[in-house]
Amino acid sequence: MTQQFKKKRERFFAGLAGNLLHMTWNLDPDREAPDFLVTEGTHQFGLELSEIFTGRQSPRSGSAMKTTESNMARTVDALRSEYEAIANIPLRVHLVGNMCAENLALVVPALVAEDFASKPVAHRVKLVPNTGLRAGLSIHVTNALRPEWFSGNDRVGWVDHDPMPRIAAAVAEKSKKLLQYQQAVGTDIRLLVFADQIYNSGKLRLRERIPLNLQGFQAVYFLSYPEKVVVFGNDP
């Protein structure tokens, strides 16, 4: 993930959190530590972000599941680029099944053979290439207005309903830089912890809200995207 894309993604989640809280958060451009200086009416506060994941974590490499998803996303995007170099037709491609290299090599030829240029927008079809003795791969395709290619295997999984330990760990980790944030933008520093439930690695949903040690933050928000925001602490 490039720094520019990371910042754009953080801006999206911060803006969405403000909207879900029915607040107007104006986010200043291009700053770090904290990630944003937020203007809300006549008041300003610093907002730092932290993304949390389910599954096994490593101190060095982070979430194993997120790493696997990112690698697959790059593989699928390479298939999109290969197809569009030949046909240049925007498709929504949903891949389900065995994502081994041998099966993925069949995707672009199957799409080219379908001749989507002759099909209307919203035309839908399920393609099942002949994978021989290997487990199969299904390709669900729609003629679209913009391209969207993804692995369905990475989006359907078990939901963790007890994210509090991971939220608390994120708060504790970010609190190590709290003084630095305060020196940069003032004493009102808040933390947005978020999980992206679109992917298996982010399927964290808060079933029971329990007290949280804010570790010096004025407020901590937990965004379980795309559902809701939970606020811990007294939001000034």
Range of the domain at 84: 64-154
Indicate whether 123 belongs to any domain: yes
**Do both 70 and 93 map to the same domain?**
yes
**Do both 111 and 149 map to the same domain?**
yes
Average pLDDT estimate for 54-83:
87
Indicate whether 86 belongs to any domain: yes
**Do both 186 and 125 map to the same domain?**
no
Amino acid letter for position 171: V
Indicate whether 121 belongs to any domain: yes
The pLDDT tens digits of the residues spanning 174-228 come to 999 999 999 999 999 999 999 999 999 999 999 888 899 999 999 999 999 998 9
Residue 21 has a pLDDT of 95
Looking at the structure of the chain, the number of domains it has is: 2
**Do both 87 and 149 map to the same domain?**
yes
Distance separating alpha carbons of residues 196 and 51, to the nearest angstrom: 8
Indicate whether 59 belongs to any domain: no
Residue 57 has a pLDDT of 74
Beta strands 43-51 and 36-40, pairing class: antiparallel
Residue 164 has a pLDDT of 95
The pLDDT tens digits of the residues spanning 102-152 come to 999 999 999 999 999 999 999 999 999 988 767 889 999 999 999 999 999
Does the pTM exceed 0.85? no
Residue 190 has a pLDDT of 98
Distance separating alpha carbons of residues 204 and 164, to the nearest angstrom: 10
Q: Domain holding 12: CATH number?
A: 3.40.1350
Final residue of a structural domain among 126, 154, 182 = 154
Q: How confident is the model at residue 84 (pLDDT cuts 50, 70, 90)?
A: very high
Indicate whether 194 belongs to any domain: yes
Tell me: pLDDT of 236 over 50: no
Which long-range contacts (C-beta less than 8 Å, at least 24 apart) are formed by 9-14?
Answer: 10/35, 10/36, 10/49, 11/36, 13/49, 13/192, 13/194, 13/196, 13/223, 13/225, 14/38, 14/47, 14/49, 14/192
Amino acid letter for position 174: K
- Nearest residue to 76 (alpha-carbon basis) of 149, 175, 156: 149
| SS (HEC) of 79-109 | HHHHHHHHCCCCEEEEEEECCCHHHHCCHHH
Mean pLDDT of the chain: 92
**Do both 49 and 164 map to the same domain?**
yes
Tell me: pLDDT of 62 over 70: yes
Tokens of 164: 């509090």
Residue 80 has a pLDDT of 97
Final residue of a structural domain among 130, 154, 178 = 154
Beta-carbon neighbour count of residue 192 at 10 Å? 26
